[in-house]
Each structure stands twice: as structure tokens, then as C-alpha cells.
Amino acid sequence: MIRPQFPEINHRLNDLRAFYATAYEVDRTAGTNAIKQSLDNLNKAGLIYGNIIYDKAPIVMNMLAEKLGQEAFHKGLRDYLHTYAYGNATWEDLISILDRETPEDLESWSRVWIHSAGVPRIQARISNDSLVVTQHDPLNRSLLWPQKITFSLTNGEQTETLSFPMDLAGIKAPIPPDMKYILPNTDGLAYGMFLPDSLSLDYMLNNLARFEAEETRLSLLMTLYENMLAGNLSADAFIKALISYLPAETNNLVRNSALSYLGEAYVRHSTEKDGPAEVFLLEAAADTRETKEYRLLAYRTLTGLFTDSLITRQLFDHWDNGKSFDGLPFEETEMTSLAYQLMIRLPDEASYIRQKQLERITNPDRRKAFIFIVQATDPDPVVRDTFFQSLLAVENRSVEAWVIPALGYLNHFLRQEHALKYIRPALAELEEVQQTGDIFFPTSWISACLSGHNSSAAADSVASFLQEHPRYEPLLKNKILQAASHLK
């Protein structure tokens, strides 16, 4: 209703970043869930909330509105509100009313998009001057996801764009001759795991900046990222492409996503540490010709992943002097976050860093937070082990906003080998965390515990825990599977 009031905003771009990217984070995992879920006890209500409820649902509602058309959709909503005024109604009641306004089979559509978990895998290939598109259900339920899909085909010079409804398992559409590369979902509206062929993936990697539409660039960027996670593209190749592409990007939302993907790929999947990614981020942060927003995003990305010794020393100097690159803000919060990271990299300086940062913090609540969290970055493994054990007692988890970053630092990617022993106890504590904490605390707890790990040993630890607990609460099990999806 409010979007027409803001015509200058690229709402499709916002949707890709705010809804699609975050919904995929869950829907790609073995712990995904349907939008509509059963709830046998209200004390588990917090466990049904998450990216599917908050982010996939708006995507699907937009599909529903587009499927009916604006006039029919508005009429159906008015009938629905009138029929059930001052009463209760179900999703099925809404679909029943909307079904009268369209020849489409909304009940079948709803069964897939609302009542079923998962995301379709969509592939396309060129065969005899035709585009052949297929979809399949990765969970082997033979589901088909009806939706409109757009592909752009190009030979590097000419481009042809096709849009068509994808209601069947496969569809064929004629295309001009000599087309070579297939670019999926270039309008950013379809929802799925798109699997381009290797030739098209390579073209996308090397030509991201060529596309005029912002939503096209972000949609292709998301496709590349998803294919990296799926193992169809190496993290090092993806990072190299991002380093080449980012200086040409002008939209801060797209840049923010690209930097986030770079950081994620570097920490969890890359084999080339101390490499060009850190140098690139450092130079981007220092480049006064760039916008302050972009430089700050690059700096914050760097401070979460740096490993190079020279860069570590330069960031230490920034922290020690209380001054970052020219033109970049370096407030107390920024310095505190960097202090945590530096203590992990520079154990011999940890005591100095801890004391100096504590003296800088004047607000009593922030001082208490620092004193609590900094235990997780202590260079002494005995101190860290003792602190972790303390978090298993409910009385030491009263300020959850402190516990989550502390647990993240305990399981920092540079200390993940030592932190392997924290995984099983953290999993064992999850049921109590759910019973005694905020509704979102279980998800944050297990994500903080696993996010810094990327080893097969960590994956084995999670798998063995679940195998030993075959009757584990299904909603909690899903949260574990979601948080562990990056562990291979």
C-alpha cells in the first residue's frame, strides 16, 4: 500500500536484499520449513519464527497478488475482511475467497508455496535454437512450483529476454540463433535455486558490472553466491570476481551485499587466506575518492576477517591511536569491536588492549558488556573454557545481548580447532536455552556457536549429536540443521 508513495525507491532491489537473500539462507538447508506450520504447544511458538515466516511469506504474497491481478486481489481481500469481520479466519478461508476471483487453481498453488518446505532447483540449457528449462524438487516429493520466470540470453553482444510461466516440470521456448550464455532471473522476481551451466557461470562472474538494472546485478550476484555454496563454483573464483567487480558498482545496497558475500566466502570457504581480498578491502577503506558509506562497509568487512600480519599491525595502530583512515568515523563501538578481534590475533598484546579499551568506555552499561564479552577473547584457553562452562548455567545468560557475541568470539574462525569441544555442550544446552530464554535466543545461540566453524570435524560433531537424539524436538532440530548447513 505504501510503495506508490515512494516511486524513487527501487523496491524490487530492496525485496531481493531484504526478503529473497534471507529466505534462501533457510530454504536451502536441510532444516527448512513450510510457511504454514503446526504448533502443538504455545511454549514452542518462538521456534516457528524465522526467515521463512518473515521473508519468504512476503515473496509468496506478492506472487499471489500478481497471479490474481490488482483488481481481483483487492476485491478478494475486501470480501475476506467483510466475511470474517470481528472473527477468526484461516489461510484456507482466504484462498477459498480469492479462488472465486480467478480461473487459476489457488488451492494447488497454496499447497506448494504455503504448505510445503523447500525451494525448486531450476536449470536451463540451449538446444537447437530453443531454451529448455526444467525444475525439480531436491527433496524428491515431485513438487512443481508454479511461477513466472525471466531469462536473458546473450552471445556477448546481443541480448534477448524471455519471460514465461513455469507451471510444468519442463518447458521449451524458441530463441534467436547464436545465443551462448543463459542468465537466470534477471528481473529478480522468481524464487528458486538457479543452476546455470559452467559457461554461463563464467560469463556472469566476469560481466556483473555490465548490467544496467540494479536488481539484475544483485539477482545474478545472489545466483553466483548460491552456486558457490552448492559447490558449483569455487570460493576463490567468486572472491576474485567480486574484487574485480566491486570498484565498478555504484549502488550501496548491491555493494553491501557483495561485501557481505565476500566476507562470508573468505571466512568459511576460501582456501587462500592472507590473500588479495584483505589488501583489496584495506585499499577500498583508505580510498578517499570513494563514498564514505562504501569505505566504511569495506572497513567493517575487513575487521571481521583479517589474518595478514601487516594488516593486523596497521589495524592495531588504528585502534591504539583511536583514529581510522581519513574521513572514516571511529567511534567507541567501532573501537570496541576491533579490540575483540585484535585480542584474538595478538595474544601478546591482549592484556594491553583489554585494559586500554576498558578505560576508553565511559558508559557503565557498555563497560559491563565489555567486561563480560572480553572473557571470550582471552588468549588463555583455560579462561575461555571456564567462561564457556559458565554460559551453560542459566543465571549467567540473563543478558542475552552479551551472550551471543561472546559465544561467537569463543567459536571464532581463527580458534575453531580449540572450540570444537564447545559444540556438543552447546547443542546439549539448546533445549534449556529454548525454555529459559527469549523466543529468538535458541536460533541465535546455535548460530553463534557454529558460524565460525567450517571443518568436517564440526560437521561430524553435529551429525553425531542428532544421531544420538533421534526423538529430538523437531522444531529445535530444524534450527540446528539451519545453523549447520555450511558445514560440509
Asked if 3-113 and 121-195 have one fold, the answer is no
Query: What's the pLDDT tens digit per position in 22-72?
Result: 999 999 999 999 999 988 888 888 889 899 999 999 999 999 999 999 999
**Sequence ranges of the domains in the chain:** 3-113, 121-195, 209-483
Round to the nearest angstrom and report the end-to-end CA distance of the chain.
43
Domain 209-483 -> CATH class: mainly alpha
The pLDDT, as a whole number, for residue 271 is 82
* Angle formed at CA 22 by CA 459 and CA 334, multiple of 5 degrees: 85
Architecture of domain 121-195: Sandwich (2.60)
Kindly state the cell numbers that stand for 374.
Answer: 572480553
Strands (E), 139-284: 147-154, 159-166, 170-174, 181-184, 193-194
Distances 428 to 124, 301, 382 between C-alpha atoms, Å = 44, 32, 21
Query: What's the pLDDT tens digit per position in 234-290?
Result: 999 999 999 999 999 999 999 999 999 999 999 998 887 768 999 999 999 999 999
Domain 3-113 fold? Neutral Protease; domain 2 (1.10.390)
Query: What's the pLDDT tens digit per position in 325-368?
Result: 999 999 999 999 999 999 999 999 999 999 999 999 999 999 99
pTM above 0.85, yes or no: yes
Q: Does residue 125 sit in helix, strand or coil?
A: strand
Kindly state the cell numbers that stand for 357.
Answer: 579499551
